[in-house]
Amino acid sequence: MRKVTLTKETTKDILENLLKRSPNNYGNFEAAVSEILQNVKTKGDQALFDYTLKFDKAQITRDNIRVTEEEIQEAYDQVDPALLDVIRKALVNIRTYHEKQRQNSWFTSTEEGTMLGQKVTPLNRVGVYVPGGKAVYPSSVLMNIVPAKVAGVSQIIMTTPPGKDGKVCPSTLVAAREAGADVIYKVGGAQAIGALAYGTESIPKVDKIVGPGNVFVALAKKAVYGHVSIDSIAGPSEILVLADETANPHYVAADLLSQAEHDEMACAILITTSSELADQVEKEINQYLKVLSRKEIIEKSLDNFGYMLIAHDMDQAIEAANEIAPEHMEIVTANPFEDMMKVKNAGAIFIGENSSEPLGDYFAGPNHVLPTNGTAKFFSALSVDDFIKKSSIVYYSRSALRDIHKDIIQFANSEQLTAHANSIAVRFEEEDKEEK
């Protein structure tokens, strides 16, 4: 990790380096993704079968593309009962948290004869993409499906790449069933995004696609946005630990590495007012690297996107943190709640030395699908809000409209939209004539 004295210039340099990780810089893959999507759009299922054979080495047909009830029961037999118990405990926390996000339709009326309101309607069909490959993340299955279920989405379709044997990881299937997925299909990559966006003979078109994936999945989601809605274009994971001299370096080092192990593009940043703490954290990291299984990935992540930033005071540290706008922020300071109130930009904030970031990944309840690459300045965590839409409701009685119809006519005429003005005027043309 690079140790840097914090200034506005160093903050700017760091931001420029971190932005290199953005999916917006994956342009050299766009042509390949575009070709895949076009083939799925025109050839439907056959394109899915061909790409699954090419990329996943699995023989998928119309007969076996959909996960069967027998396969799900087989998965339950293979999953450790202790893991199933933990999944169910986590589900309770995740569901309880998201139920507090529910929104209701509302209406207000006046004695003058008006009624205004907002009608909240869940999306009809949502696609949840679950990656396979290097690692399996049943926790992400829960985080993407539960808010859709709580929102009242009618049908939740999940896609995930199969292994060479044509089967899906048992823990993924069990998590999907426990969370409430309605249908699961064995297809991954950009081709799965195309199927969800356009529809094929086997997979119906959805209204929205959520879920993380590799560069091809990210670019495919970006390309189909507009045909369907998407949650976000996720970049590599990141953690920022805000700490002072009271922080435990043993804990801080462990937490930084918890995200660095995701992949070589992951980012881990320590911002501290204590150079002594930074030195201690560095020593702890070196000790951890001797025993952690993903040492090579961690070392590449820290070499490329790891920073220890030494701030003059906590105000400067928080200002830099707000500029970076991290996906995950831990606050381990003498006054963590006071410092939290000054944080404006972060996907999730973990307060105090016992609130380690993995607590949020797996169990606490808040969603772990979070904005990355500085987008926490304007995006939020995945929530129930992502799975609803809102319709405005307008009702005016004739007498209520009569009172203000001339105001509307004047406004419309000022914009030279005479048909707009006429739409109001015709309702009172006889009365207005009599007034003249």
d(CA 7, CA 340): 21
In degrees, rounded to 5, the angle at the alpha carbon of residue 211 between the alpha carbons of residues 209 and 217 is 80
Pick the closest to residue 182 from 229, 148, 151 (CA basis).
148
Q: Which two tokens stand for residue 390?
A: 């809102």
Q: Which of 17, 78, 4, 26 is nearest to 216 (CA)?
A: 26
| HSE-CB of 85 using CA atoms within 13 angstroms | 3
Phi-psi region of 211 (alpha: psi -120 to 50; beta: other; left: phi over 0): left
| Count of C-beta atoms within a 10 Å radius of residue 298 | 26
Does the active-site annotation cover 328?
A: yes
Burial of 109 (C-beta count, 10 Å sphere; 0-12/13-18/19+): exposed
Closest of 336, 372, 368 to residue 354, by C-alpha: 336
Based on the residue annotation, tell me whether 327 is a catalytic residue of this protein. Answer: yes
* Nearest-angstrom CA–CA distance, 256 and 278: 12
Residue of 178, 238, 284, 328 marked active site: 328
Helix or strand (DSSP H, E) at 300 = helix 295-305
State the Cα–Cα distance between residues 98 and 109, nearest whole angstrom. 30
Angle at 190 between CA 365 and CA 42, to 5 degrees: 135
Give the C-alpha separation, 215 to 217, whole Å: 5
* Catalytic residue (choose from 327, 330, 353, 357): 327
**What residues are labeled active site?**
327-328
